Chain A
Amino acid sequence: MSAINPYTLRTLDNGLRIVIEHMPYVRSAAAGFLVLTGARDETRALAGVSHFLEHMMFKGTKKRHWREITLTFDRMGSTYNAYTSEDRTMYYGWVRSADLAKQIELLADMLRSSLPPDELDMERKVILEEIAMSKDNLEHLAFDFLQEKVFAGHPLAWPILGYDETVGSMSRDQMWDYFQRRYTPDNMMLVVAGNVEPGAVVETAEKLCGHWPRSSNGHVRVPPRIHAGVDALKVDRFKQQVVVLTFASIGAADPAAETAAAVATILGGDNSRFFWNIMQTGLSPRAGVAHLGYSDCGLMMLYAACQPEKAEDVVEAMRKEAGRITHDGVLPHEVARVKSRRRTSLAIESEAPYYRLTQLMDDMEYRGSPRTVEQMLADVDAVSAESIRDYLERYPIHVGGHLAGVGPRLWPKGG
């Protein structure tokens, strides 16, 4: 891990930001375009359009038929894909360093998609299958239900995949309009990590993307109101009950994000309080805590899967642990071990370009600049028993919150 700043940052005249991390000790390179648009930027009538567009980016451009896009990826032996979240859409490829320029050219071409009309209905079928697959997964179903309730009335309540009826009826014109407004260079970043020559990457990007027109769209994200309450979804075909306690938290850009992550780890990660006091008492085979950081808000989610008849006991045990950490605080060794594990994971992630790519994207989206490994370690070192206490005072998890139950039992409501 070098103390030398390995980053090159540029912004093209049209607003496209470029960040490059030079990793001279590896043989590969990863490149990705981050588009700052996701499910939360949609209307209810167009729920799923960001994800549908992500699929359509692989379906053809003025220059390439869809078949040529996939062939070009595979001729390089690229490890490639794309994903859509609430806040972003990302396209990436991980290749041997020698193929980086070709990889960037292909990704850049894809993002000028022609949205071929004759491919729209075929891809619609694929996405409807993806939605069907998601409904067969209890944890996906529970998470979508939770978001629908906690973010009720806000676009974060829509499922990323959309609904059967919105995906089924979305027109190309509607999709094109969204595409033109959201896939603009001032709303995108090109992120590159690996054994690369930064000057050559900037030159390639300027040539490929420098002429993309800047947008004047004034889309502003509005933070959601996070709802408390109790909701249940009865689904007879599952054997387990998923129970989730959710509380308001900080967003991914907040300086205390490492502290929130530490709370989640101490309470519900490996070797955590949930592991020893809930799973290792036989109450639940899977229980944990996750901090979900969005661009302007966050959730602290305490969850477990259990036998339906144990749901009350599991929720009581989760609440008990939330109360203990709030009232009694954390032990010094609990904080120390979170830091030790984080150090190792940073060392592991700093080895491979794809992992660095995802870290850089997080940093760029939420902080506006990349952090060196040393800076990330400093943020981790700032976590303390006091910072955890302060966080829990500001964002309590021992009272209130939202309780959701999904499974064969109509619980908590009417159970």
Chain B
Amino acid sequence: MGMTEYVHANLPCGIEYGVQPLPQRHVVTFQLRILSGTAGEPSEKLGLSALIEETLDKGTEKRGGRELSDAFDALGAACRSGTGRETTTFTCTVLPEHFEEAVSLHAEFLRTPTFPDHAVQVAIDLARQEITNLDDDAQGLTDKLISLQAYGPVMGRHILGEHHTLAAITREDIVRHWRSDYHAGRMVVAVAGSVTAGRVEEVFEKYFSGFGSTKSQGRRPTSIEFLPATTHRHKDLEQEQIAVCWPGVDATHADFPVQQVVLGILSGGMSGRLFTEVREKQGLVYWVAAWQDTPRGYGMIFLGASTTPERCDQTYRTLLREVDRLAEDIEPEELERAQTGILASQDTRGDSTRARCGELASDLFYYGRPVSPEEKTRRIQAVTVNDVRRYLAAFPRDRRCVVTVGPKPLGVSDCK
């Protein structure tokens, strides 16, 4: 099997794009990433980005929201969108014969939305309901609270905003923010599937030529503010939610593959240390996990679990002990197992066109270029036991954020 092939360039209209042609596939997936998210919202208008995402397709200069949705459905397009801290994404999978029409429909709502008054009011009303509803979602609420501590008041914002900021948002605010941030210079497009690079270039240039500024923007990281503390939110629940985090490395750091392997050892499968020690040996939890989150320029390691209140302290102690113990007694066999897990997952998921597109989009965002599976494989395979020890020494978890949500606070505030 030869090296994976990509095309990566900029279109005259200003869009940066990457293509992975997969001619044997039956579908095409493309992702349009607008480099604008919650971190760029005015502080008194939080929630603006998600409202734009929600209302963009509720009407265009050419047709109403229902007609637009019907046009997508006529193509059988499988679409989804999402708002993040630094980007807003629109992902679409279609049969190859509908590729151009699907791109043209995206261009229509991204370029000529009318933001109907009624749709804006409904979106604001529903967002306010969702903020209230977040209280019913113990894990979602925990994520919201720890994000604020991990990233500070700008990068730690929740996508829904707050009740008072939503109340301050008008249709004019939405239009103004869309005009400022939705243009070709802030667009990154990833395409994978049964389509040629030439066809991608032709179609995107045709539909996005003249879409605002061609100047490259939105590519610099936003600073985070890490606020180590232990906090508790009382809620009358059966279980206590526990979340812990501390800074790690960002996706472009030389030690990023080491971090991936560390997470694989801790939480890469049922033989991972956390699952084994917290669940299998002590029966403390049903779910436990370690994961990373990597805004551009930063990395954060998270541990999470939920357990009944009387077992919360023991769970918390075990979580932290396992991270410490890793530096003391890592075995070459578990390093190898974690590496295999990462690489096998890359291979199996690679059979999905959507997964290929997602991977390419992520590489363009973090690295500014496609990164082949072969290169990723080499970097993971190069990680050694000494790398893991060095990484764990360089990124200690002494300064950490801890959030619990449930009936009682932790009884152990600073155990190591």
User: Contact residues of A with B, CB < 8 Å?
Assistant: 1, 25-28, 58, 66-67, 70-71, 73-80, 94-96, 99, 121-130, 132-133, 135-136, 138, 236-240, 270-271, 276, 279-282, 284-285, 305-307, 333, 336-337, 339-345, 347-348, 350-354
Residues of A within 8 A of B72 (CB): 271
Residues of A within 8 A of B354 (CB): 348
Residues of B within 8 A of A239 (CB): 132-133, 135-136
Residues of B within 8 A of A285 (CB): 126, 129-130, 133
Total count of chain B residues near the partner, CB < 8 A: 70
A27-B347, A305-B133, A351-B352 are contacts. A71–B138 as well, Cβ < 8 Å?
no
A26-B351, A271-B70 are contacts. A133–B306 as well, Cβ < 8 Å?
yes
Question: Are A132 and B239 neighbours in the complex by a CB distance under 8 Å?
Answer: yes
Give Cα A99 to B94, complex, Å: 32
Question: Are B122 and A77 neighbours in the complex by a CB distance under 8 Å?
Answer: no
Question: Are B24 and A25 neighbours in the complex by a CB distance under 8 Å?
Answer: yes
A77-B340, A337-B73, A344-B95 are contacts. A94–B129 as well, Cβ < 8 Å?
no
Question: Are B76 and A343 neighbours in the complex by a CB distance under 8 Å?
Answer: yes
Question: Are B66 and A276 neighbours in the complex by a CB distance under 8 Å?
Answer: yes
Q: Which of B125, B271, B272 contacts A282 (CB 8 A)?
A: B125
Give Cα A282 to B118, complex, Å: 10
Question: Are B78 and A344 neighbours in the complex by a CB distance under 8 Å?
Answer: yes
Q: Which of A125, A276, A340, A350 contacts B73 (CB 8 A)?
A: A340
Closest residue of chain A to B406, judged by CB?
Answer: A136
11 inter-chain pairs at a CB distance below 8 angstroms, sorted by A residue, are A67-B276, A70-B270, A76-B340, A76-B344, A126-B285, A133-B239, A236-B236, A333-B74, A336-B74, A337-B74, A340-B74
Interface of chain A: mostly helix, strand, loop or mixed = helix
Give Cα A41 to B305, complex, Å: 32
Q: Which of A28, A129, A341 contacts B284 (CB 8 A)?
A: A129
A133-B238, A237-B236 are contacts. A74–B95 as well, Cβ < 8 Å?
no
Q: Is B91 at the interface (CB under 8 A from chain A)?
A: no
| 9 interchain residue pairs of minimum CB distance | A77-B344, A125-B283, A337-B73, A340-B76, A70-B270, A344-B76, A130-B286, A74-B269, A70-B271
Residues of A within 8 A of B136 (CB): 138, 238-240
With A240-B136, A271-B73, A333-B74 already in contact, 18 other A-B pairs whose C-beta atoms are closer than 8 Å: A27-B350, A70-B270, A70-B275, A74-B270, A75-B337, A78-B269, A79-B345, A125-B283, A128-B308, A239-B133, A239-B136, A270-B69, A280-B65, A337-B70, A341-B73, A343-B95, A351-B25, A351-B27
Q: Is B369 at the interface (CB under 8 A from chain A)?
A: no
Question: Are A94 and B239 neighbours in the complex by a CB distance under 8 Å?
Answer: no
Give Cα A280 to B55, complex, Å: 11
Q: Which of A129, A307, A342 contacts B307 (CB 8 A)?
A: A129
Q: Is B343 at the interface (CB under 8 A from chain A)?
A: yes
Residues of A within 8 A of B280 (CB): 66-67, 70, 122
Question: Are A71 and B283 neighbours in the complex by a CB distance under 8 Å?
Answer: no
Closest residue of chain A to B129, judged by CB?
Answer: A285
Residues of B within 8 A of A236 (CB): 236
Give Cα A282 to B130, complex, Å: 11
A126-B285, A336-B74 are contacts. A74–B133 as well, Cβ < 8 Å?
no
User: Contact residues of B with A, CB < 8 Å?
Assistant: 24-27, 58, 65-66, 69-70, 72-78, 93-95, 119, 121-122, 125-126, 129-130, 132-133, 135-136, 138, 235-239, 268-272, 275-276, 279-287, 306-308, 337, 340-345, 347-354
Give Cα A67 to B345, complex, Å: 21
CB distance from B322 to the nearest CB of A (A): 16
Question: Are B78 and A348 neighbours in the complex by a CB distance under 8 Å?
Answer: yes
Residues of A within 8 A of B76 (CB): 337, 339-344
With a 10 A CB-CB cut-off, give which of B26, B237, B268, B308 has the most chain A CB atoms.
B26
Residues of B within 8 A of A96 (CB): 344, 347-348
A129-B284, A133-B286, A239-B135 are contacts. A28–B347 as well, Cβ < 8 Å?
yes
Give Cα A133 to B406, complex, Å: 12
A136-B138, A271-B73, A285-B126 are contacts. A341–B78 as well, Cβ < 8 Å?
yes
Give Cα A348 to B75, complex, Å: 14
Residues of B within 8 A of A133 (CB): 238-239, 286-287, 306
Question: Are A347 and B351 neighbours in the complex by a CB distance under 8 Å?
Answer: no
Question: Are A129 and B122 neighbours in the complex by a CB distance under 8 Å?
Answer: no
Residues of A within 8 A of B342 (CB): 77
Question: Are A70 and B276 neighbours in the complex by a CB distance under 8 Å?
Answer: yes
Residues of B within 8 A of A270 (CB): 69
Question: Are A73 and B269 neighbours in the complex by a CB distance under 8 Å?
Answer: yes
Give Cα A341 to B69, complex, Å: 12
Residues of B within 8 A of A58 (CB): 270
Question: Are A351 and B276 neighbours in the complex by a CB distance under 8 Å?
Answer: no
CB distance from B101 to the nearest CB of A (A): 12
Question: Are B70 and A344 neighbours in the complex by a CB distance under 8 Å?
Answer: no
Question: Are A129 and B236 neighbours in the complex by a CB distance under 8 Å?
Answer: no
Give Cα A123 to B340, complex, Å: 28
Q: Which of B73, B135, B306, B343 contacts A77 (CB 8 A)?
A: B343
Question: Are A333 and B348 neighbours in the complex by a CB distance under 8 Å?
Answer: no
Residues of B within 8 A of A336 (CB): 74
CB distance from B257 to the nearest CB of A (A): 16
